[in-house]
Structure 1
Amino acid sequence: MNLYERFARQARSGPEQAAVIDPDGEDITYRDLQERAAAVAAFLDERTTPGDRVAALMLDNATVVAVALGAWRAGCAFTPVNYRFGPDEVAYVLDDVDPEVVVHDGVFANTATEAAEGAGCSDALVAGHAGEFDADAFGDPAEAPEPVTRLDDETAIVMHTSGTTGDPKGVVQTHRNAGAQVDAGIATYDVTADDTAVVSVPLFHVGGFHGATLMGLFTGGSVVIHPAWGAAEWARLVEATDATITGLVPAMMVDALDSDAAREQDTSSLRMCFYGGSPATESTLDAFEEAFAVDELLNYYGQTEAAGLTVAGTPETPRTAGALGKPVPSVEARVVDPDTGDDVAEDEDGELWLRGDSVMPRYWDAPKRTERAFDGEWFRTGDVVRQEDGILYFVDRLDDIVLSGGEKVAPSRVEDALAEMDGIDAVAVFGTPHDRLGEAVTAAIVGDESLSADDVEAFCDDHAGLAGYEKPRRIHFVDSFPRTGSQKIDKTALVEQVSE
């Protein structure tokens, strides 16, 4: 069933209910949001056919939601583009999905134009609408088509996430995938029409789009879209709207604890905060719970490939290191020896494999990548976990992906960029422990003696191929790299070396 129908049902039953709350302006009711979605659908009806992609390169705001709903109503697939990507990555995404329409904010006009031209879809650009919805830029809501029938296995979303190859991976999420995941989140976190969620995780992430926004809109509740992260502003929005739910990555929790302005706000209305994206220490969780008077802190573990939430914490889940929780109702889980495919014994480390209604069918236009990601029906997450007394614990990644502040950073992408710099002979990138981010992107460099960390940072700042979170926070110069018996760089030994 078309995901749009999930929203339309709530719009019919509570048209005057606030869908998007703006404490500094006017709330957007379900009727208003439905009309905006109809305007987008009317615009798309003349330019697309069912199955076409509609991309949005926008900051977090209510128009992103209207574009997604309008795309679904018109039978299209929605592609939210990570606005933290550099121009090269934006161009890659647009070239990958070949959208019929690209909606962008004015702040991204140059990036969108250059990326669209590079991808051969410059005629698809629609000028941006970050603040107030520009109805004139779209169509007449009265001329919108009836919602196009889409079957469960047809594509609803193509969401890109960086992978081990360094190139963003286009994850296909069907209407069934996204719907099942949102249902699982609603059931797990007891979301109702009485809830108001402050959405601070970006809408190009499953945690922000599926994990808070769609859960709220599909239950008739309200959402507050936080346009740009700031700890004091997050706390102010919670107090101003009496929010009951929010979702944060651990780095955001640390920011809030470090902000006197955030601590001064009354956030006691929060009944629940879910957190995920990177490891959180027990001390951070305890301090955050006390400082912001949150009733429950619950872990949110998931993958874009499973439309988001797959393992969730409960009030009974211990806060010991790595504790994730239990699989949600939309998936089955196994802990497997990745070499043999056999289940491992309780308390033994193994790779987490998943199957279920929320697990993607494939990567976009990448059959070989899809084949590598699956073993029969089972999706191989690449995460090493162990199970104790029914609780899953995160151990490590099978690959070298760095999890920094809720973002996945492919070392190979950063290494390739740094290799372009004059004076660098060799470079290795990896993660090192960081109190706020979980891991900091760290670069070890063999190069000219005249080279400085400031030189490297300036080069990265000017490099169009690196997103902000991909730029190294720590830079070390070494004489040579330790190597394994097969002459590969021994990154484990290298981490120990630079840590000393």
Structure 2
Amino acid sequence: MNAETIPHWLEKRVELTPERVAIHTQENSITFRELRKQSMCMVGKLASLGVKKGSHVAIYANNSLDFVRFVHAISYIGAVAVFLNTRLTQKEIRFQLEDAKCELVIYEQNLSPIIEPLGQEMPIRVHSFKDVSKQLEAPFKAQQEVRLDDIYTILYTSGTTGNPKGVMLTYGNHWWSAVSSALNLGLSEEDQWLATLPLFHVGGLSLLFKNVIYGMPITLLTSFDEQEIHKAIMEKGVTIVSVVSVMLKRLLSQLDAGETYPTSFRCMLLGGGPAPKPLLEEAASKHVPVIQTYGMTETSSQIVTLSAQDALRKIGSAGKPLFPAQLNIINDQQNTKDQSIGEIVVKGPMVTSGYYKRPETNEYTIKDEWLYTGDLGYVDDEGFLYVVDRRKDLIISGGENIYPAEIEEVLAGLDSIKEVGVIGQEDDRWGEVPVAFVVFHEGVSLSTEEILSYCARSLAKYKIPKMIYFEDHLPRNASNKLLRRDLAKWLKQRGEME
């Protein structure tokens, strides 16, 4: 049977509403017709650089109109877009470029100190947005349709062990994510979504597809700025903002006593991990609608969402699965219906078919189309999901996922260190931050500053431990496995003693 095809969604959008505003930036606004014209211009320039259907093209940039143009240009060619987190170190970026077999990197000019040396060291071509714009256009035939089972994007996500894995997402995954979100949240002619989450993360990227599929303008900010967002909500018609907890907290602080958002404001869509109950209660007291979601890169963004009418009644819940999605809680390989905690498994057309070049991981992560998330949760008697622990050891800091094993692997590279354990510590600003417990070999030691300096060479800034605790041993079980729960107790005891 032939794979399903649909019209290229930007082409279809231009056919339907060419003069409607597509994107507002702080400098100007462009229509869907203009967005298509600018994206098509980039297609010819990428073609002149040898990009063709199936090529893997990395984008290394922060939020900008250029980023958006290239996302659509890559789809017109039928190439695969690989998104690089701009907070990663050169070593981390190198791994992802090699792992994804990227042929070309296009990047934002002010990020050249990180990326340009890689172009000299690796068999890969690197071009700034400015370089690409100067290219002469080569003849090309733009895709007028997209096959829903074609891979469109690869986004890297950290694993509990080893290196990050490239999540393959198809046009169909992104299509169903957008459609499912609309079925859950509803759509209004007045809707205007504000994009401040990084576009290289799936939560931000998904807005670029909702934008053209819904025909809804987005307000694009280069980075999070609570004053700009507050102004956009109060004065510029923004109706939905995607946030993580740390962002919501800062936005709530912008509301003066007695001040409320306009009635046209629909909600803060809150992802990136379970939200503290006091934060949700503060939002409710200020009449700020918050809709919690649960999702991950592997599900193309949200897959479980709390509806607006249940937001206050079910504070702390992530909600119910989106319309085409399914959810189960698995305990000892059995489905559980009794509200007991188990592993969250999900299924639906927005769920990835697997990780790039990771057949072994795919085998145990995806079974009969069910994605085993590794996250723990339970479903109450009304069918609402509560996430208890977002993956067993995961630290979520300001919406960024941090796995202790990755930090431990780096610290273990120091000859002086005998043992190391990393866990998350609660933090008022970021939700959580990583802290490390270290045991030295006999007769040697390092200062905190020396350890942190070493970490900075291999880890993104947000992954560097915020505190190093020196110990003479670490808690382990009979199998010599590190007991993180005991480390958490140690941390709590230290806090009580201070």
TM-score by length of 1: 0.90
Equivalent of residue 53 in structure 1, options 28, 51, 56? 56
Per the alignment, residue 424 of structure 2 pairs with 431
| 1:50 CA drift (Å) | 1.3
Distance (Å, rounded) in 1 between the aligned partners of 2:256 and 2:56: 42
Does 2:289 match 1:287?
no
Matched residue type, 1:416: E
Unpaired stretches in structure 2, ≥5 consecutive residues = 494-498
Equivalent of residue 370 in structure 1, options 362, 372, 375? 362
Determine if contact 2:60/2:85 at 8 Å carries over to the other structure.
yes
Equivalent of residue 78 in structure 2, options 46, 69, 75? 75
Q: How does 1:28-177 map to 2 (within 5 A)?
A: 28-46=30-48, 47-121=50-124, 124-129=125-130, 136-138=133-135, 140=137, 144-147=140-143, 149-177=145-173
Distance (Å, rounded) in 2 between the aligned partners of 1:257 and 1:407: 21
Does 2:491 match 1:498?
yes
Secondary structure in structure 1 of the residue aligned to 2:166:
strand
Distance (Å, rounded) in 2 between the aligned partners of 1:442 and 1:427: 10
Output one character per residue of 1:424-467: Cα deviation in whole Å (capped at 9) or x when no partner.
3321111123333332211111237864434433433x31x211
Distance (Å, rounded) in 2 between the aligned partners of 1:139 and 1:289: 54
Does 2:479 match 1:478?
no
Equivalent of residue 383 in structure 2, options 370, 381, 390? 390
Distance (Å, rounded) in 1 between the aligned partners of 2:232 and 2:311: 29
| 1:192 CA drift (Å) | 3.8
Per the alignment, residue 242 of structure 1 pairs with 237
Shift in CA distance, 41/409, structure 1 to aligned 2, threshold 3 Å: same
| 1:6 CA drift (Å) | 1.6
Secondary structure in structure 2 of the residue aligned to 1:324:
coil
| 1:12 CA drift (Å) | 2.1
Does 2:482 match 1:489?
yes
Shift in CA distance, 410/166, structure 1 to aligned 2, threshold 3 Å: farther
Per the alignment, residue 346 of structure 1 pairs with 338
Matched residue type, 1:381: T
Determine if contact 1:231/1:262 at 8 Å carries over to the other structure.
no
Per the alignment, residue 246 of structure 2 pairs with 251
Shift in CA distance, 353/302, structure 1 to aligned 2, threshold 3 Å: same
| 1:139 CA drift (Å) | 5.2
Shift in CA distance, 306/117, structure 1 to aligned 2, threshold 3 Å: farther
Distance (Å, rounded) in 1 between the aligned partners of 2:398 and 2:257: 19
Output one character per residue of 1:399-441: Cα deviation in whole Å (capped at 9) or x when no partner.
3222222111121211122233464332111112333333221
| 1:261 CA drift (Å) | 9.3
Matched residue type, 1:434: D
Matched residue type, 2:82: T
Shift in CA distance, 31/351, structure 1 to aligned 2, threshold 3 Å: same
Does 2:397 match 1:400?
no
Distance (Å, rounded) in 2 between the aligned partners of 1:482 and 1:321: 35
Distance (Å, rounded) in 2 between the aligned partners of 1:321 and 1:119: 50
Does 2:439 match 1:446?
yes
Determine if contact 1:178/1:358 at 8 Å carries over to the other structure.
yes
| 1:194 CA drift (Å) | 2.5
Secondary structure in structure 2 of the residue aligned to 1:112:
helix
Secondary structure in structure 2 of the residue aligned to 1:35:
helix
Per the alignment, residue 301 of structure 1 pairs with 294
Distance (Å, rounded) in 2 between the aligned partners of 1:83 and 1:32: 27
Equivalent of residue 403 in structure 2, options 395, 407, 410? 410
Determine if contact 1:158/1:171 at 8 Å carries over to the other structure.
yes
Distance (Å, rounded) in 2 between the aligned partners of 1:422 and 1:352: 39
| 1:318 CA drift (Å) | 5.1
Distance (Å, rounded) in 2 between the aligned partners of 1:303 and 1:179: 16
Matched residue type, 1:330: P
Shift in CA distance, 193/83, structure 1 to aligned 2, threshold 3 Å: farther
Distance (Å, rounded) in 1 between the aligned partners of 2:260 and 2:28: 22
Count of residue correspondences: 485
Shift in CA distance, 260/181, structure 1 to aligned 2, threshold 3 Å: closer
Output one character per residue of 1:227-280: Cα deviation in whole Å (capped at 9) or x when no partner.
122322322333342211111000111233455899989666521110011221
Determine if contact 1:197/1:245 at 8 Å carries over to the other structure.
yes
Shift in CA distance, 261/125, structure 1 to aligned 2, threshold 3 Å: farther
Distance (Å, rounded) in 1 between the aligned partners of 2:320 and 2:460: 33
Shift in CA distance, 193/91, structure 1 to aligned 2, threshold 3 Å: farther
Per the alignment, residue 317 of structure 2 pairs with 323
Shift in CA distance, 433/2, structure 1 to aligned 2, threshold 3 Å: farther
Distance (Å, rounded) in 2 between the aligned partners of 1:392 and 1:25: 41
Secondary structure in structure 2 of the residue aligned to 1:239:
helix
TM-score by length of 2: 0.90
Determine if contact 2:345/2:371 at 8 Å carries over to the other structure.
yes
Per the alignment, residue 496 of structure 2 pairs with none
Determine if contact 1:256/1:262 at 8 Å carries over to the other structure.
no
| 1:83 CA drift (Å) | 1.0
Matched residue type, 2:133: D
Shift in CA distance, 371/263, structure 1 to aligned 2, threshold 3 Å: farther
Secondary structure in structure 1 of the residue aligned to 2:393:
coil
Equivalent of residue 16 in structure 1, options 14, 19, 25? 19
Question: 257-266 vs 432-441, which deviates more?
Answer: 257-266
Shift in CA distance, 237/397, structure 1 to aligned 2, threshold 3 Å: closer
Determine if contact 1:233/1:262 at 8 Å carries over to the other structure.
no
Unpaired stretches in structure 1, ≥5 consecutive residues = none
Shift in CA distance, 262/390, structure 1 to aligned 2, threshold 3 Å: same
C-alpha RMSD of matched pairs (Å):
2.6
Distance (Å, rounded) in 1 between the aligned partners of 2:298 and 2:152: 13
Query: What percent of counterpart residues are identical?
Result: 26
Secondary structure in structure 2 of the residue aligned to 1:218:
helix
